[in-house]
Amino acid sequence: MKSVSVAGEWFTVRWMDGRLLIMDQRKLPQAESYVVLETMEDVFQAIRTLMVRGAPAIGIVAAWGMALGASQSLARDIPEFMEELKAARDYVASARPTAVNLSWAVNRMTAKAERSVKGDQATVGLLQDILAEEAALIQREDEDASRAMGEHLLSLLGKSRGILTHCNAGQLATSRYGTALSPIYVGVEKGEKFHVFVDETRPVLQGSRLTAWELQKLGVDVTLICDNMAATVMSQHKVDAVIVGADRIAGNGDVANKIGTLGVALLAHHYEIPFYVAAPLSTVDLAIPTGRQIPIEQRPSDEIVKGFGVATAPEGVSVYNPAFDVTPHAYITAIVTERGVARKPYSVSLRDHVREVNP
């Protein structure tokens, strides 16, 4: 893994001349720094250490990681190649457990190779090319899905222009546009204006470091607030709608998202403010019936007691640091996917959305 200089507009992830480049989001907002991921270990560490984060972006990087590993294979035959591919799938999928897009992407890549093996002309070289094409398709589909979500959310918002969001679900979390921020990106393209309140999002500050950064880049009127200020701005009628992303959506519409999302949803419910979740269909996990079955990643204690290298708590104090919480579907006004707006009962509407793509 090595740092590189990149000219032109910023991006989250890009495959360039056989190399996988990502923005190192740990360096924001101080620096726009890019690294080349050269091995499967690099891909694993980039996902695990939050160099890349956001469920769709993790899936894209994982897909390209599979293509990267395949391109470096020295397998002598198809069975050996497939054995290596499946080992890579299991390894990368273990980097983070909550975001379903990660396992979805590596399983899709493996399934594509398995289907291609059945052809009479299958060779290791052909499979390497096919996997690179599949990763590129996953990234293009993500961009198209984000754009579609933006259009659907704009219709939902109507004249609402005071938006509150939690964590980062913009272009940094996807290939382009974002999920929760997609209506902002699409709206700006159409000349519309917004005022976005951004929760700082403790303990890693994805809101202040990432969301505020990219909204400033976009020229949007953005106000950063501490997480515990959300109730105040809602009570002052400054928020017309809340939009958040998701890392996994259960079959009944329960949503796992960055820790603190549940609190925001409860506040929005109290103040009768619409609470929207935006996520591609790859985030919907119909195999999990409710949010109680979603695995919640536990992060290192240093993120809280020594955040960014500064001691903020007494030595040896016990720490509980779940990366995500689960918002029950009862507090969600609508879930927006690339297929449109899903409403209660989500067990029906989400299944219908998935069925439209996979009849």
- Between CA 236 and CA 233 the distance in angstroms is 5
Under the banding of pLDDT at 50, 70 and 90, the label for residue 119 is low
56-71 pLDDT per residue, tens: 999 999 999 999 999 9
How much is the pLDDT for 67? Answer: 97
Cβ burial, residue 168 (10 Å; 0-12/13-18/19+): buried
How much is the pLDDT for 356? Answer: 74
CATH tag, 148-357: 3.40.50.10470
Tokens, residue 78: 């198809």
Strand spans (E) along the chain: 2-4, 13-16, 19-23, 34-37, 162-165, 195-199, 221-225, 241-244, 248-250, 255-258, 275-278, 284-285, 324-327, 334-337, 340-342
H/E element, 154:
helix 124-157
How much is the pLDDT for 358? Answer: 67
19-23 vs 13-16, strand pairing mode: antiparallel
Q: For residue 359, is pLDDT > 70?
A: no
**CA of 203: how far to CAs of 89, 211, 258, 306, in Å?**
30, 15, 10, 10
Q: For residue 8, is pLDDT > 90?
A: no
Half-sphere exposure of 159 (CA within 13 A, CB side): 0
Q: For residue 178, is pLDDT > 80?
A: yes
The amino acid at residue 317 is V
Is residue 325 annotated as part of the catalytic site, yes or no? no
Q: Which of 24, 42, 247, 254 is catalytic?
A: 247
- Between CA 81 and CA 74 the distance in angstroms is 8
Q: What is the mean pLDDT of residues 49-61?
A: 95
Residue ranges of the chain that CATH labels 3.40.50.10470: 148-357
How much is the pLDDT for 1? Answer: 85
CB–CB of 351/286 below 8 Å? yes
Query: Which one has a higher pLDDT value, 330 or 117?
Result: 330
Q: What class does CATH assign to 2-143?
A: mainly alpha
DSSP for 193-222, written as a single string = --EEEEE--TTTTHIIIIIHHHHHHHT-EE
299-340 pLDDT per residue, tens: 999 999 999 889 999 999 999 999 999 999 999 999 999 999
∠ CA(179), CA(205), CA(22), 5° rounding?
60
19-23 vs 195-199, strand pairing mode: unpaired
- Is the pTM higher than 0.85? The answer reads yes
How much is the pLDDT for 253? Answer: 98
The amino acid at residue 295 is P
Residue ranges of the chain that CATH labels 1.20.120.420: 2-143
Cβ burial, residue 312 (10 Å; 0-12/13-18/19+): exposed
Q: What is the mean pLDDT of residues 351-357?
A: 86
162-165 vs 34-37, strand pairing mode: unpaired
